[in-house]
Amino acid sequence: MGQRSDGDLLFERYLAESGVVIPQHEPDLGAGRRIDYPVEIGGLTCLCEDKEFAPTTQSVIPGSMQDLLKPIRAKIHDAAPQLRAAKELGYPLVVVLTNPHNAPVIMGERELLWAIEGDPIVRVPVTTSAPPVHTVGRNGELRRDHAYITAVVVLHERLHARDFYDQVAEQSRDKAHEERIQAILAGRQTEPDGGYLFTHTFIPSGADAFPLPDVFFRGPRDVVWEYSYEEQRYVVVHDPRTALPRQLIGR
């Protein structure tokens, strides 16, 4: 068993906060390579390989789309050989991206999907009057490679204080400017400590991937996007905070 990284510890904290038993780190599964965590819930298992961003990692801005998405793609690429060694075991294979050092890496919903599927492009029909279509082009890390990977999970951390001040701002939205400032200053006396973890999960259409059972990464703050062949785009299949469905980029 190797030494656990800060990203591993963060993932273990997420599991504990989700009520999941923390599995042994890097057990010998007989796959030739050791996977970080075989996570088990209700008799079901998925294999998770954690990749953390170093403190010096950053998204290059301004720059090309390839430069912007390179940190995300590089981590998925690094995890792929570990997971490929275990693809014959018959479990869902999951890349978990963690950022315990708060490296300046842009990891919004669209950036993750672009990293997975391809650089964003606008396709303009030249023979019809149809409107332009926002879609993806080249360089997607999972578009044609690593079809055995079931999902990419991004682990986020948010302070309770941010939720608290968002609520203060909403409650004082219709007040005068000075009153809003006073409400924010008064909040400093009672702002909560600590924070919580949540995940954003992206499930591509890997032809060789085992499906991810819906007991994984489905907490009260977690969000799951899955590629829909019917819609020809990613749709939200789990988000307890909002009504479904929501849609993101297509191909």
Give the pTM: 0.84
Average pLDDT (207-231) is 89
Decide if 25 contacts 37 (C-beta within 8 A): yes
| pLDDT band, very low/low/confident/very high, at 9 (cuts 50, 70, 90) | very high
Please, which residues bridge with residue 200 across strands?
154, 223
pLDDT of residue 136: 62
Q: Which two tokens stand for residue 167?
A: 């609520």
Instruction: Return the top range by mean pLDDT from 38-52, 122-136, 186-200.
Output: 38-52
Would you report the helix, strand and coil content of the chain in percent, each value rounded to 5? 25, 25, 45
Q: What are phi and psi of 98, to 5 degrees?
A: -125, 155
Neighbours of 203 (CB within 10 A): 23
- From CA 160, how far away is CA 49, in angstroms rounded? 28
